[in-house]
Chains A and B, each alone.
Chain A
Amino acid sequence: MKIFIFLLVALLSMSVNSAPHGDELYARHCSSCHGVEGKGGVGVPLALPSFLNSVSDEYLKKTIRYGRPGRIMPAFEMLSDAQLNAIAKHLRSWSGKPGLVEDTTVVIGDSKNGKQLFARFCAQCHGEEGRGGKGTGVTFSRKRDLPIIAPALNNTGFLASASDTMIRDTIIFGREGTPMTSMLVAGLSEEDINDIVSYIRSMEKTAAEFEQASNEIDDEPMVIIMDSPYGLEETVENLKQAITDQNFTLIRTEYLEHGLVAEGRENKKQVVLHFCNFGFLFEALAIDPRVGMFLPCRVTVIEKNGKVQLSTINPKRLSKLFNNRELDDSCQQMYEVYKTLLEDATL
């Protein structure tokens, strides 16, 4: 018994105490978005020398820890400090240089003037309220030679990670290899830049309120369900008509068990209709290429014990999975479409 306990303790100690490998952690948690060599993709390119050389390890670690609420980058709360250190060290291996020492000096400026300057010089890329550029990923959203979409500054994750000095230096020097140019070269004075930093820092309150409001959305069920007063065939025909009426293209109608069992042996009481609106699909993929996993649109019609029921995914519930606030409107819109389809088919 003692040996068994000893082995258990040894096993647990091994997993807890073994030094984390930054490359492995990066491959598992980061590479799918940021690229195996940090060249970017769904996420921003981390291997850019102008980026790595202008941020501290603290900034990198806080970014991983807090993420960017509503901007795809998740918060990796489950990683230990040692694991964060290991990932930061791995990122540094790309530049071969140590990070900047974090400077927490508070920049004093006139945020009122900063707001006006921000509207003139920054909002075009970072958005009117600093909520960031639109879209993500190179597949649909941006040109292949554009390495980055302007980050959201009005974001609790960013504001908790970036020091005033880091923000100021980024505005002063720009980021080579990205559309972010030096604002000194653009004609602003250092005092102007301090004002902009002060304005960005003042976003902390609105960012927190905005995120809180997003989190207050009631818990949505996973599916939208509706009972049909009609038989299976009639319900399917009604649904086809409703799909066309909503300007969607019916792709195919098949049994749910298609491909699962031999042809002809499917349960004929379980039917799936696949349909699409390509304009809407393209817009959704441009906002976030990951949404394809719930596409194309489909509604299932099932007859069981003489009762016919329609069901479909609930886009409002799924939008929470993506941590992408931009998707929320599209998901709301799609929720309304699904509800209308189900109502029209069962009227």
Chain B
Amino acid sequence: MKMLSHYVLSIILLCFAAASLASDLLMVRSQQSFPEAMLTLQTSISEHGYEITRVQRIDIGLTGMGYKTDKYRIVFVGKPKEIQYLVDKYPAMAAYMPPQISIFAEHGETVLITANPMIYAEMVDNEKDKVLFRRWESDVYSVFDDIRDAED
């Protein structure tokens, strides 16, 4: 029994070590063109149970002002009940809610970036609430895997 608890402890420590080494920025490149990658993102987000609350066009404002740029969007993503719960309990978190994923064209490919949701954990004081961000992080990895694996 003692041995078992040692192994369980080792696994937990390994998990925490892996998590602590994760990057603050999560990025993925899709070989799909921008419209296709956007569609893959929307589909994957939906399959993971999240909702897209808004898609903000950045490029149109820039080109409208005379700047030369490529396709660039910000996608706001969240689960209504979770966002409401967090903002109600930690109003300061509203500044980051709903979380955003930026998606932009680079040559014929597409790059997606988001902040690792674990960075929000320092704004909450409850270990139980921090688990939420761990799950969001895991879901971002999974969505980005879908993007990476998507066919051209």
Among B1, B4, B51, B123, the residue within 8 A (CB) of A222 is B123
Interface bin, chain A:
35 or more
Residues A258 and B53 in contact in the complex (CB < 8 Å), given A36-B31, A270-B94, A322-B25: yes
Contacts of A179 in B (CB 8 A): none
The distance in angstroms between the C-alpha atoms of A45 and B22, with both chains bound, is 24
The distance in angstroms between the C-alpha atoms of A256 and B113, with both chains bound, is 22
The distance in angstroms between the C-alpha atoms of A121 and B107, with both chains bound, is 32
| SS of B interface (majority) | mixed
B65 touches A292 (CB 8 A): no
Residues A311 and B72 in contact in the complex (CB < 8 Å), given A222-B123, A261-B80: no
Residues A223 and B123 in contact in the complex (CB < 8 Å), given A41-B29, A256-B87: yes
Chain B contributes a number of interface residues (CB within 8 A of A) equal to: 63
The distance in angstroms between the C-alpha atoms of A217 and B71, with both chains bound, is 35
Contacts of A31 in B (CB 8 A): 29, 148
The distance in angstroms between the C-alpha atoms of A258 and B64, with both chains bound, is 26
Contacts of A35 in B (CB 8 A): 29, 109
Q: Does A257 contact B (CB under 8 A)?
A: yes
Contacts of B58 in A (CB 8 A): 281, 285, 292, 295-296
Smallest Cβ-Cβ distance to B52: which chain A residue: A259
Among A260, A312, A318, the residue within 8 A (CB) of B51 is A260
Q: Chain A's nearest CB lies how many Å from the CB of B72?
A: 6
B21 touches A290 (CB 8 A): no
Contacts of B72 in A (CB 8 A): 139, 285, 289, 292
Q: Does B129 contact A (CB under 8 A)?
A: no
Q: Does A282 contact B (CB under 8 A)?
A: yes
Q: Does A347 contact B (CB under 8 A)?
A: no
The distance in angstroms between the C-alpha atoms of A114 and B67, with both chains bound, is 40
| Among listed B39-47, B114-122, B130-138, interface-contacting one | B114-122
Q: Does A27 contact B (CB under 8 A)?
A: yes
The distance in angstroms between the C-alpha atoms of A113 and B150, with both chains bound, is 54
Contacts of A313 in B (CB 8 A): 95-96
The distance in angstroms between the C-alpha atoms of A32 and B148, with both chains bound, is 9
A260 touches B100 (CB 8 A): no
B29 touches A260 (CB 8 A): no
Among B11, B93, B104, the residue within 8 A (CB) of A139 is B104
Contacts of B69 in A (CB 8 A): 139-140, 282, 285
Contacts of A77 in B (CB 8 A): 21
The distance in angstroms between the C-alpha atoms of A225 and B112, with both chains bound, is 29
Contacts of A258 in B (CB 8 A): 53-54
Q: Does A19 contact B (CB under 8 A)?
A: no
Contacts of B107 in A (CB 8 A): 39, 41, 138, 144
Q: Does B142 contact A (CB under 8 A)?
A: no
The distance in angstroms between the C-alpha atoms of A42 and B109, with both chains bound, is 12
B111 touches A42 (CB 8 A): yes
Contacts of B14 in A (CB 8 A): 12
Q: Does A109 contact B (CB under 8 A)?
A: no
Q: Chain A's nearest CB lies how many Å from the CB of B75?
A: 9
The distance in angstroms between the C-alpha atoms of A278 and B68, with both chains bound, is 12
Smallest Cβ-Cβ distance to B67: which chain A residue: A282
The distance in angstroms between the C-alpha atoms of A225 and B92, with both chains bound, is 7
B31 touches A32 (CB 8 A): no
B80 touches A300 (CB 8 A): no
> A260-B80, A311-B91, A321-B119 known; 7 other A-B pairs, CB under 8 Å?
A42-B111, A139-B69, A259-B54, A290-B102, A296-B58, A302-B94, A312-B95
Q: List chain A positions with a Cβ less than 8 A from chain B.
A: 1, 4-5, 8-9, 12, 27-28, 31-33, 35-36, 39, 41-42, 74, 77-78, 137-140, 144, 222-223, 225, 251, 256-261, 267, 270, 272, 274, 276, 278-279, 281-282, 285, 289-290, 292-296, 298-300, 302, 304, 309, 311-313, 318, 320-322
5 contacts between A and B (CB under 8 A): A27-B148, A41-B107, A222-B123, A261-B80, A281-B58
